[in-house]
Structure formats: structure tokens, C-alpha cells
Structure 1
Amino acid sequence: MYCIDDKQFPCSTSLTMKYIGGKWKAVILIHLIEKKRYSELKKECRVITERTLSLQLKELEEDGLVKRTVHTSKPPLKVDYELTDFGRTLIPLLKAIDQWGKEIAKTDKRIKVMK
């Protein structure tokens, strides 16, 4: 049993999913293997609404996986996102999930690859 701020997790898998679970967190994290500006991230995650992307980034930042840097040197304001050292520990897992998805896309006849 694991506990964070009085929330209990019955196993290490449920603890992991607290950080990367949901429809978009793993997608966002894999795109942040390389540092990105918010606008770049939005283009790469085009099916995510702007509100959802912002909320998920905020949660990932609160969990210590993502670092947000605001550049105020000159207008317009620029915001970068990147994985923290803690977030970078997820890279092997994220790459494995990505690879698994590519393999499934090759073998599952119901899946159509779209660009």
C-alpha cells in the first residue's frame, strides 16, 4: 500500500497511473522528451483541446514531472515545457508504450494508420 497526501494506492501500478494515467498525460509526456514551446506542443497534440492541455500540463507540473519556464524578455510571452529529472525517469517507459502501440498498429486489422 502506498499513500500520497492521504490518498491510498493499493499497488505500485496504481501509484504509477496516478502520475501518467488518463487519456492525455502519457501523450503529452512523450512529446516533451524534447523541450517544447507551448505552441509547438499544441500543434503536436492537435486533438487535445487547449483547456485540457493546459490543465494536464498544470497537473504534470504539480506532480514534479514537467518544468514550465516563462520567458518575459520581450512580448509576446513565450512559455517552454520540459521534463524534469524526475520526469526523465519515465522516458524508457514512455518509449516502450510508444513501441507497443506501433507493433499493435501493424498487427490489429481494425487499426487504420492516418496522418
Structure 2
Amino acid sequence: MNTSPTPAANVFARACASRGVLQDITGRWGVLVLAALTEKTCRFSELRRHIDGVSERMLSQTLQNLERDGLVNRTVRTTIPPHVEYSLTDLGQRITSPLLTLIDLVEEAVPQIETAQHNYDSNS
């Protein structure tokens, strides 16, 4: 029996599993899916309507990745017709909480960001 402690995760290490999870969370659609699911449990079509611009393929892939990472629950309802609902796991809720703070900070800073972008573009 191996009693050695599990090595600590290190996102800066090339082979660390945390890199893939971080990519799933912070990729183009991951953060938006997680943020949308903090509001309520959603069906696929609800998520697609809520997240403007995401394709069915990318939403499906993102949900699968987040489910694999243990952040999203996928529940099949045996209704007529059957449908699938998505919600955050406890881990998903813990990880999403600081993401919501980041989203709020970015939204509040949009005027400053746009000014900085304009200044940068003017000087380039």
C-alpha cells in the first residue's frame, strides 16, 4: 500500500491535471456556462438562448467537459417528451463563486477598459 502523499497540483507544471480543468473553466464558453447555471437549473435550449453566440456543438462540448470535471450535473428527466437538465455540482458552485466576482469586476470596468483600448489603438 502506497502511503506517500499525493503531490500538490501546480498549474504551472506542464503535466498537471489542473491545466486542463482550468482551460475548461476559463475557455471561451466555460465561464459563461458556469455563470448561467448559478442562476438556475437549465435545459440545453435555455442555456443556448441565454449565452448569445454559442453554437450547439460548442455548448454540448463545453457541458461535457464541465460534467467530466465534476462541475456540472446532467440529469435526464423521464418525462414525455424526455429532456435533460444541467445544474452545478457543489464543486461547481465553489469554483463559480469567484468567477462571478471576476465577471462583476470586468463589467464595472468596461468604460475604463474601452478607454484604454482606444488609447492603445490610437498610439499603434
**What TM-score, normalized by structure 1, do the two folds share?**
0.78
Which structure dedicates a bigger proportion of its chain to strand? 1
Alignment of 1:1-115 (within 5 A): 2=9, 8-9=15-16, 14=19, 17-33=22-38, 34-75=40-81, 77-109=82-114
Contact 2:33 2:51 in 1 (8 A): yes
Contact 2:43 2:83 in 1 (8 A): yes
Aligned length: 105
Q: SS in structure 2 opposite 1:2?
A: coil
Identity among equivalent positions (%) equals 32
Q: Provide the C-alpha distance between the structure 2 equivalents of 1:73 and 1:43, rounded to a whole number of angstroms.
A: 22
Q: SS in structure 1 opposite 2:54?
A: coil
Q: SS in structure 2 opposite 1:59?
A: helix
Structure 2 gaps, min length 5 = 1-7, 118-124
Query: How far 1:18 sits from its partner (Å)?
Result: 4.0
**Residues 9 and 22 (structure 1 numbering): CA distance in 2 closer, same or farther, change over 3 Å?**
same
Give the number of the structure whose alpha-carbon radius of gyration is greater. Answer: 2
Query: How far 1:83 sits from its partner (Å)?
Result: 0.2
Which structure dedicates a bigger proportion of its chain to helix? 2
Structure 1 gaps, min length 5 = none
Which contiguous aligned blocks of 4+ residues in structure 1 show a shift greater than 3 angstroms?
Answer: none
Q: Provide the C-alpha distance between the structure 1 equivalents of 2:68 and 2:104, rounded to a whole number of angstroms.
A: 28
**What TM-score, normalized by structure 2, do the two folds share?**
0.72
- Partner deviation per Cα, 1:50-94 (whole Å, 9 max, x = no partner): 00000010000000000001112211x211100001101023212
